[in-house]
A and B are shown apart, each in its own frame.
Chain A
Amino acid sequence: MTHLPYILASYGLFAGMALVLSVGAALRLKKARARLATLERTSSRPSGAPLTP
């Protein structure tokens, strides 16, 4: 297994990239969903109603 460092580096790069991209996408999606839900709640309120509960 003299090529082990090259193999591990390849798989490590793949794992790191997959982790960064997938966690980044999941966090962005979560943040957008929460923000949109908050905005849609407040925009469906009558215009004279207070913004705080």
Chain B
Amino acid sequence: MSASPTLVARTGSFFHRYANPGRFLKLGARIQPWLTWTALLFTLAGLGWGLFYSPADWQQGDSVRIMYVHVPAAILASSGYAALAVCGLLSLVWRHPLADLAAVEIGPVGACITALCLATGSLWGKPMWGTWWVWDARLTSVLVLFFLYLGHIALIRAFDDPQRGYRAAAILALAGAVDLPIIKFSVQWWNTLHQPDSITLTGAPTMSSSMLWPLALSMIGISLGFAAIVVARLRAAVMENRIRSLLSSPRRRGGAA
């Protein structure tokens, strides 16, 4: 029974060690160029390959090329929300100094990528299904995810006391995480128009390697790009916090008065 508090304390100290704002700024400045340039390289390679060199699908024709944008956006939409839930947990359990700031910065980026997933899904659905939208389990659960992101963005800024906003948004992020398995398994649990997953952790991919490689490249590139944008926003947020604390320091206020 005594192992649990020790484990919690150890995990807490691990996260605090690697999330001190000053240490994060140093680490962020070091990894930012690598993240950005690698993301650009992989994204251009993946999307270029997918758009110009990968073969058309025998059933879907050229519209399958939308996959190289849509699938990474869909995976990142769920991963981004999972990151938001982890931030919520870190905030509620360990009062992690960076988790709240990270949640503020991940929210808008995640909402954008979810909107992109929905929009590219519609653009793929129109030529394939003959309609922009159906109230299908997969599409509807991703739409719910988009609203969860919007709710999180609104809630985290809704209070005069930021701490109350962080706490309420953390609870929403954790409660909303129930949508993630629904999105993942919606194509198995319900009879949907959306196709089942082509890539799974347990089985061999059901697509040709000439499509899998550009998809893997664009997946890596867009994920690194997502990380680069979040790291840049988070670095800016840490600096803005430092600016606010400097401006409200007694010495500066005394000097101004």
Contacts and interface: CB of A to CB of B under 8 A. Distances in A.
Contacts of A43: 246, 249, 251-252
B246 A10 contact: no
A29 B51 contact: no
Given A6-B66, A32-B240, A43-B249, A25 B233 contact: yes
B152 interface: no
A52 interface: no
Query: What is the interface residue range for chain A against chain B?
Result: 20 to 34
A7 B243 contact: no
Contacts of A18: 43, 225
Interface in B210-257: 225, 228-229, 232-233, 235-236, 239-240, 242-243, 246-247, 249, 251-252, 255
A13 B116 contact: yes
Interface string B141-173: 000000000000000000000000000000000
B136 interface: no
Contacts, number: 91
A47 B123 contact: no
Interface string B62-80: 1101100110010000000
Interface string A7-22: 1011101100110011
Contacts of A1: 62
Nearest to A28: B236
Given A6-B63, A6-B123, A10-B69, A26 B232 contact: yes
Given A3-B62, A21-B229, A43-B249, A10 B70 contact: yes
Interface of A: 1-4, 6-7, 9-11, 13-14, 17-18, 21-22, 25-26, 28-29, 31-33, 35-36, 39-40, 43, 47
The 10 closest A-B pairs by CB, nearest first: A32-B239, A25-B232, A3-B63, A29-B236, A28-B236, A10-B120, A32-B236, A10-B66, A6-B123, A14-B69
